[in-house]
Amino acid sequence: MSEEMIIRTAIVTGGSRGIGRAVCIALAKQGCNLVVNYCHGEAAAAEVVALCKAAGAEAVAVQADVSNAEDCKRLFEEAIHAFGRVDILVNNAGITRDNLILCMSEADFDAVLNANLKGAFLCCKEAARRMVRQRYGRIVNLSSVVALRGNAGQTNYAASKAGLLGLTKSLARELAGRNITVNAVAPGFIETDMTAALPEAVRAEMTKGIPLGRPGIPEDVANAVAFFAAEQSSYLTGQVLCADGGMAM
């Protein structure tokens, strides 16, 4: 089959809500088959599958905790079973357990590093094995502007997101010779469940620091992810694109 005829298959971790959900829909509109991963939200993932299908794509939902190696293995096996290949991996699944360091438990540090950083490592490993064989791949990791600027109360989260930048650049070098690109998108302050609990005063203060004058919406980030995931972005690797309204410049 010629390269142009291949329908690309994308796995989006944490595709059931927020940014991941918007990424699934954006990639479905680009003509990809979608594997919508979720951890707890079965109904939310089913809704995303329906939205992808409405956009003209094939889509399945797969439950897997990305911090668990066996789950990641099964996630990729189910993707191959459904669509025969994996061309795009978006490491989007992420959690926060914010606290000042004196109050942060070891368990909260480990939980965030395991979900955000180890989860991406495990999925990259599963993806790389298959992408190397097919000599094609696009990996996009969701970092954050806090990886670049730091944020009081988020030592665990910022460490995980900064770790993702090191992972992205190292893996970009490892896989470049096999026509596989690895890039990162660093969102700023985006309106999702993750940021919904912030007190109004904090939200107002954060918005003041955004040159474009508003928090982002998931689609703002999905657009940047879809850009890296596109066939045409073949000369971009090891890059970090801030989707942040100008916050981190």
Kindly list the catalytic residues. 157
Distance CA 233, CA 188 (A): 23
CB 226 → ligand NAP: shortest distance, Å?
A: 15
Q: Are 221 and 192 in contact (CB under 8 A)?
A: no
Binding status of residue 41 toward ligand NAP by CB under 6 A? yes
By CB under 6 A, name the one of 14, 137, 163, 245 that touches ligand NAP.
Answer: 14
Q: Are 11 and 36 in contact (CB under 8 A)?
A: no
Residues 6+ apart with CB under 8 A from 53: 28, 59
Greatest CA span in the chain, whole angstroms? 58
CB 15 → ligand NAP: shortest distance, Å?
A: 6
The nearer residue to ligand NAP, 9 or 37, going by C-beta atoms, is 37
The contacts found for 232-238 with CB under 8 angstroms, 24 or more apart, are 233/138, 233/181, 233/183, 234/179, 234/181, 236/181, 236/183, 237/172, 237/176, 237/181, 237/182, 237/183, 238/168, 238/169, 238/172, 238/173, 238/182, 238/183
Binding status of residue 163 toward ligand NAP by CB under 6 A? no
Q: Are 108 and 97 in contact (CB under 8 A)?
A: yes
By CB under 6 A, name the one of 109, 136, 189, 228 that touches ligand NAP.
Answer: 189
Segment lying near ligand NAP (by CB under 6 A), choices 2-10, 35-43, 101-109, 197-205: 35-43
Binding status of residue 190 toward ligand NAP by CB under 6 A? yes
Distance CA 79, CA 34 (A): 9
CB 51 → ligand NAP: shortest distance, Å?
A: 14
Q: Are 120 and 67 in contact (CB under 8 A)?
A: no
Binding status of residue 195 toward ligand NAP by CB under 6 A? yes
Q: Tell me the two tokens of residue 122.
A: 């495990």
CB 2 → ligand NAP: shortest distance, Å?
A: 35
Size, binding site for ligand NAP by CB under 6 A: 30
By CB under 6 A, name the one of 94, 137, 163, 245 that touches ligand NAP.
Answer: 94
CB 107 → ligand NAP: shortest distance, Å?
A: 15
Q: Which residues bind ligand NAP (CB under 6 A)?
A: 13-14, 16-20, 37-41, 65-67, 92-95, 115, 119, 142, 144, 187, 189-190, 192-195
